[in-house]
């Protein structure tokens, strides 16, 4: 067997060392790339979490604002009812007085403020009774008015952005007893 020369073995040893160093560097580069990818993914998740948090916080703030408006409006409605009762009993000769005009002006300002908050009165009188918007307090017999119509509004109802916050208390028409008896007799004859 031929003997390897020292020069050959020295070259092979350097080659092996170089290959080992290259292999170590490649492994280190791969580990650094994996670590970079891990941190990049974490940064993306953190950014997405922050965006989601801001969105959720904004939605919660808006919900709190809406519910606060809702409860404030509910507290104001009885005051408006009182103004309506007060202005309805002012004698005609006193309406032109400064205090009568002032009372009507304050009532109008309350109503304008509610309208600016998207609060609207429920139109009830003359409309068909709707249990989602009306609360029947009384029934009134009538021969002239068809059954189920709102005849009188006892207390105004209000909506906040299409959501009923207080139904209107109303009087609803119903057929008179004479009319009922006539219908029943007609059915029996048939």
Q: How does pLDDT run across 115-134, given as a tens digit for each residue?
A: 998 899 999 998 999 999 99
Q: Which domains does the chain have, with CATH numbers?
A: 1-117 (no CATH), 120-190 (2.30.22.10)
29-65 core/surface letters (b: 16 or more CB in 10 A; e: else) = eeeeeeeeeeeeeeeeeeeeeeeeeeeeeeeeeeeee
Q: For residue 172, which of 137, 122, 131 has the smallest C-alpha distance?
A: 137
Q: pLDDT band for position 184 (50/70/90)?
A: low
What is the average pLDDT value for the chain, to the nearest integer? Answer: 83
DSSP state of 84: H
pLDDT at 87: 84
Question: Which of 19-33, 39-53, 125-139 bottoms out in mean pLDDT, i.e. has the lowest?
Answer: 19-33
In the numeric block, the tokens 């092979």 are attached to 12
Q: For residue 150, which of 165, 139, 166 has the smallest C-alpha distance?
A: 139
Q: pLDDT band for position 144 (50/70/90)?
A: confident
Question: Which of 73-77, 89-93, 147-151 bottoms out in mean pLDDT, i.e. has the lowest?
Answer: 89-93
**Greater model confidence, 89 or 22:** 89
- Whether pLDDT at 50 is above 70: yes
Q: For residue 172, which of 146, 120, 81 has the smallest C-alpha distance?
A: 146
Q: pLDDT band for position 156 (50/70/90)?
A: very high
Torsion of CA 126, 131, 133, 139, to 10 degrees: 40
**Greater model confidence, 179 or 172:** 172
Q: pLDDT tens digit string along 157-171?
A: 999 888 899 999 999
């Amino acid at each position: 067997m031929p003997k390897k020369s020292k020069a050959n073995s020295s070259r092979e040893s350097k080659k092996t060392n170089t290959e080992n160093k290259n292999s170590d560097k490649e492994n280190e580069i791969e580990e650094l790339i994996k670590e970079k990818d891990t941190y990049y993914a974490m940064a993306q998740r953190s950014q997405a979490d922050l965006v989601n948090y801001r969105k959720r916080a904004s939605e919660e703030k808006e919900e709190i604002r809406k519910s606060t408006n809702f409860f404030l409006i509910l507290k104001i409605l009885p005051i408006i009812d009182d103004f309506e009762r007060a202005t309805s009993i002012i004698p005609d000769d006193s309406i032109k007085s400064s205090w009568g005009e002032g009372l009507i002006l304050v009532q109008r300002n309350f109503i304008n403020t509610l309208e600016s908050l998207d609060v609207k009165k429920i139109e009830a009188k003359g409309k068909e009774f709707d249990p989602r918007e009306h609360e029947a307090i009384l029934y009134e017999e009538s021969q002239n008015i068809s059954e189920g119509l709102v005849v009188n509004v006892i207390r105004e109802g209000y909506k906040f952005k299409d959501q009923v916050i207080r139904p209107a208390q109303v009087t609803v028409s119903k057929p008179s007893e004479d009319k009922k008896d006539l219908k029943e007799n007609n059915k029996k004859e048939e």
